[in-house]
Every structure is written in C-alpha cells, then in structure tokens.
Amino acid sequence: MDLRQLAYLDAVVRHGGFTRAAEQLRVAQPAVSAQIRRLEAEVGARLLSRTTRSVALTHAGELVLRRARRAMAELDAARDELAGLAGGLLGRVRIGAIQALDPFDLPAALAAFHRRHPGVELALGSGALRSLLDGLDRGDLDLAIGPVPPGLPTRYARTPLFTDELVLVTDPDHRLAGTDPLPMAALRDEPFVCLPADSGLRAILDRLAAEAGFTPRVPFETTHLPRLRALAAHGLGVALVARSVAEAPGPPVVVHGVDPGPLLRPVGLLHHTGTALGAAVQACRDFLAAWPGPQDPTSPGAARVVHDPAHG
C-alpha cells in the first residue's frame, strides 16, 4: 500500500462518498475507486461497505483507517519539523471550540499566533464537546477547546485555560427577578430555555433540577447562545448559561447566581494523545496555553465546580 491509497481512503470517509472525495482531491472519481480497490486487494479485506447512497467503513476499514491516519499525522509532523529547521514554521492547525469562550479571547490569541507564524494555516470551527471529541478521534481536529469533565478519557490530554461561572437568567419582570442567588427549587413550575438534550449544559440543568426534586420543562431549545439569552429576556423561560453569555450585549436580563453556588465550569485545551503533534500544532498549543486568560471566579468556601458529561 502507498500513501496515496491511504489518503484516498481517508478522503472518502471524511467526505462521505467517492464523488465528494474526488472533488476535494481534484482527481477523477474512477481514479479514487481504483485506488481503493487496489488497497482492498493488498490488505485482503473489504474496507468500505458501498450502497447507492452512501459508503461506510467495515470493521477492517476502521482498523486500517485508524492506523493510516496515525501514519499520515506522523508524516505531517515530520514535514513541519523539517520546515522549522529550514527557518520558518509551516503547517496547518485545525481547532474546534465551544461557543461560550468570552472570558478567553481566542480571536486575539489566534491573531497574535498568526503574526508570529504567518506560514501556519489556521482553521477554526465550533460545536458541543461531544462533536469536538469526535473530531479529535477522527483526526478532523488537532486541538479542541471545551469543558473538561472529570470522566474525560485519558486519550485526551488537557490543559486548563479558564473557569467560567454558570448562572441563571430571567427577564426583568420575572416574579423572581429580585432573588439572588436563585434556588433551583423555586423554579419547579417555570419553563426553561436551553441547548438541545444531548448538550452538556442541558445535562447540568437536568442534574440541578433533579437535585431540587423536579424534571425541568424545556419548551424552547436552540444551539445559538445569543438567541437562548434573548428567549429568556423576552420572558419565554429561565436560562442556565455561562456568565459571559448572560452579560453579553442584548435585551435586558437579570443575572442570578445559583443557590447553592457559585457554579463553576472548568474549560481547557484538549488534544488526542494518540496523534503526533506536528511542530505547528505544538507551537499553537503552547501559545494558546500561555495566552493571558481571565481570573477564575472564586468564592471561598462556597464554590461548586460542575462538569459536563463527555457527550458535550
């Protein structure tokens, strides 16, 4: 097998089919199909399950692709290191991050890194923690910035960046607008607005409500944090959000601490321990880890540190 065959297999899986992979690779689709057939013949196993609508990895394909991505990552790392020896850092760094990062100025950090290393190509995407971890597993991401739960598998290395506080948000005319901190038990009959059910923030809301003896009613869901805040501002429900989101510009809201609290959530910089970090990725990781961050919110003797489950 050769590197081109492995790259073609990776592209077919990454883009969900032969046609889209060929477009991204800028080669003819029959050439991609031919290379995959040769690879399957060489390894003596079927790597892809093909239908008229999609392709999927077989078990053998999963094993081959996992090692292929490691091999390609090692080669990329070697190229980056050789480029560094030649005098200028080159390479690509793909970063995924959760939305609520306002205490950590990621745009400023990336701009400063780009000024220092203009030969490094940066790419940034966003998502919930579960999707970011999946991106690290697939090799689609080099670095991720998100909540650091206590049960995070050891295959993810983590570096603390900051700790955000989770707060409750109500509209200014809410019957409990003057209560701070706000006990969860007082919200038993209130509607909530929150991220979707598979999000870490929703899991925290569910857990807090369960501790208070009820199941939260969530008639409004959105993946857009400013919209979540706006829904609460217009009286459609109570929202549990990061303080940075609650205090962002927008319609007026009342920000409440959570009783008991404060409710703190650690956020860190993650990478996959099974993937070699090229010189560019390592330099970016070290740069972001050293970037000045906010002071962690503290309250001696009263802090509650909460964690998102690994699904995001």
pLDDT for 242-297, tens place per residue? 998 898 888 999 999 998 778 888 899 999 988 888 889 999 999 999 987 554 44
Share of the chain above pLDDT 90, in %: 40
Q: What is the pLDDT at residue 128?
A: 84
Q: What is the pLDDT of residue 87?
A: 54
Average pLDDT, the chain: 85
The secondary structure element, H or E, covering residue 133 is helix 129-138
- Answer for the pair 69, 14: CB distance below 8 angstroms, yes or no: no
Q: Closest Cα to residue 94, out of 118, 69, 122?
A: 122
Confidence of residue 308 (pLDDT cuts 50, 70, 90): very low
- Distant-in-sequence, close-in-space partners of 241: CB < 8 Å, separation ≥ 6: 100, 166, 167, 169, 201, 225, 228, 229
- Report how far residue 222's alpha carbon sits from residue 227's, in angstroms, rounded to the nearest whole number: 7
CB within 8 A of 149, min separation 6: which ones? 129, 200, 307, 308, 309, 310
Range name among 50-59, 123-132, 145-154, 276-285 with the lowest pLDDT average: 50-59
Confidence of residue 85 (pLDDT cuts 50, 70, 90): low
In the chain, list all ranges with CATH 3.40.190.10.
75-163+266-299, 165-264
CATH code for the structural domain at 3-70: 1.10.10.10
Question: Is 51 in a helix, a strand, or coil?
Answer: coil
Instruction: Supply the CATH classification number for the domain 165-264.
Output: 3.40.190.10
pLDDT for 302 = 39
Model confidence, pTM = 0.65
The helix/strand/coil state of 257 is: coil
CATH of 75-163+266-299, one of 1.10.3720.10, 3.40.50.2300, 3.40.190.10, 3.40.50.300: 3.40.190.10
